[in-house]
Amino acid sequence: MKFIADAMLGRLARWLRVLGFDVLYYPDIADGQLVKIAREEERTILTRDTHFLKRRQGTDVMFIYDDDVFAQLVQIRDKLDFRGVARLGRCMVCNGMLERVAQKEDVRDSIPEFIYLSIHDFVRCGGCGNIYWEGSHLQGIREKIMSIFPGYKGPFYAAEDGGGK
Ligand SMILES: [Zn+2]
């Protein structure tokens, strides 16, 4: 189950990646290009824009009618198939695959010291090199996501600020 999100759905794309889904997102992509990629890579288009329903050219389209990212997740949760998602989740910034950091010492220079001292498990994005960990910075959002997906056991590797807009 692969997606491509339109320019208005950056936050949704990021949290779907955290859950392990393969989601492309380009904030400035032209509509025609988006449809072309969706068709070539058999991706479902996530969109807030009804005109994609007309331009779909045989691609699957999920029309998202809510503004709030959690309401958006509620809207599509019954259509999501977690089989085949990335085991450790994906990088919320670039969609890369996350890999476990074997030696904690390897990330020492890349993270704040208090994080290094209090957290034991880190993952690194194979694409952009971002480092993530599960910590108290995620507790609130994790609880919200778990309330939407009660069966979801994690992982839950994300950045404190949600990876930007
Ligand atoms: Zn990345």
The answer to whether 12 and 24 are in contact (CB under 8 A) is: no
For position 76, what pLDDT does the model report?
96
CA 55 to centroid of ligand 1, rounded, Å: 30
Residue 51 lies in a domain: yes
87-96, 112-121, 134-143: which has the minimum mean pLDDT?
134-143
Q: How far apart are CA 102 and CA 74, in angstroms?
A: 35
CA 91 to centroid of ligand 1, rounded, Å: 5
Q: How far apart are CA 19 and CA 2, in angstroms?
A: 12
Continuous segment of H or E residues that includes residue 13:
helix 10-18
Residue 83 lies in a domain: yes
CA 28 to centroid of ligand 1, rounded, Å: 19
Continuous segment of H or E residues that includes residue 18:
helix 10-18
For position 51, what pLDDT does the model report?
86
Residue 26 lies in a domain: yes
For position 55, what pLDDT does the model report?
80
Q: How far apart are CA 101 and CA 27, in angstroms?
A: 30
Residue 165 lies in a domain: no
Residue 113 lies in a domain: no
Question: Could you tell me the pLDDT band of residue 164, with boundaries at 50, 70 and 90?
Answer: very low
Average pLDDT over residues 15-39: 95
pTM recorded for the entire structure: 0.93
For the chain, how many structural domains are there in total?
1
The answer to whether 96 and 24 are in contact (CB under 8 A) is: no
Better-predicted residue by pLDDT, 142 or 47: 47
Q: How far apart are CA 3 and CA 34, in angstroms?
A: 11
Question: Could you tell me the pLDDT band of residue 2, with boundaries at 50, 70 and 90?
Answer: very high
The amino acid at 53:
L
Continuous segment of H or E residues that includes residue 12:
helix 10-18
Is the bond preceding residue 155 a cis peptide, omega within 30 degrees? yes
Question: Could you tell me the pLDDT band of residue 161, with boundaries at 50, 70 and 90?
Answer: low
CA 57 to centroid of ligand 1, rounded, Å: 30
The answer, yes or no, to whether residue 145 has pLDDT greater than 50, is: yes
Residue 12 lies in a domain: yes
> For residue 10, which of 93, 126, 98, 134 has the smallest C-alpha distance?
93
CA 6 to centroid of ligand 1, rounded, Å: 19
CA 95 to centroid of ligand 1, rounded, Å: 6
Residue 65 lies in a domain: yes
CA 158 to centroid of ligand 1, rounded, Å: 11
The answer to whether 151 and 145 are in contact (CB under 8 A) is: no
Residue 24 lies in a domain: yes
Q: 59 is in which domain, residue-wise?
A: 2-91
